[in-house]
Structure 1
Amino acid sequence: MLKKKAVNELSAYAIGDDNYEVVISQSKKIAWYWFRDNAGYTNEQMKNFKIWIFDMEKRVYIKNYKEASAKEIIKEVQELSSFSGFPIVVFEKRSDQEYFTNWYTSWNAKDSKS
């Protein structure tokens, strides 16, 4: 587990275009390479994406869950037994949606049908 001081050193980076994922990492460079490797993009493909700072305090609506900030999601993720460290994706946003998604969206999909 990261100590409280180390969590304060983490930043959120949005990576993509009109569709993007918010990656929590210790640096922009680590976030970029981690996103590239996990998504399976080449360096050439990554040139088509932007990367920018995402406000860790900004509250967004996560479909089928609630309104939350990246900072709040980090705390919840760290409590999971499956948590193995950073970088992580806290949520993503598609241009055709007014809401963000993350693992809560798929876990709670049945709730949206009621």
Structure 2
Amino acid sequence: MTRLARALCSLHSAALVWLAYCTITTARYGAAWAAILFAAASLMSVIAVIREMDAGDRAYAARHHAPAAEAEDQAALLDDAVRDLDNACCERWWTALGTDHDPTCPVQQPRSDAA
């Protein structure tokens, strides 16, 4: 978690404590509707702390795990391209998207209507 995220979490926690105190005080000496509003506001502080912690975890994961995953994706794409080139039997087959062969090609399969 970054310093900013920690600072925001501590500010939200301080607001939570203050709103909890206001909730208890209002429930004892004030209107019940105000106590309910203070309780709802304190729950919002809890949600804010949870969101900050989750966002910090996602940012950490993106910084430390994304380069490895990107390298794996590039390696997989390269392997697919090499496999396609290895399976090509002749240049005409490659340029005709697998529908035609060179006259000297050993495979000599008939034209396909698939392409």
TM-score range, shorter chain: under 0.3
Structure with more contact order per residue of length (Cα contacts < 8 Å, sep ≥ 6): 1
TM-score (normalizing by structure 2): 0.18
TM-score (normalizing by structure 1): 0.18
Identify, as 1 or 2, the structure richer in helix: 2
Larger CA Rg, structure 1 vs 2: 2
Identify, as 1 or 2, the structure richer in strand: 1
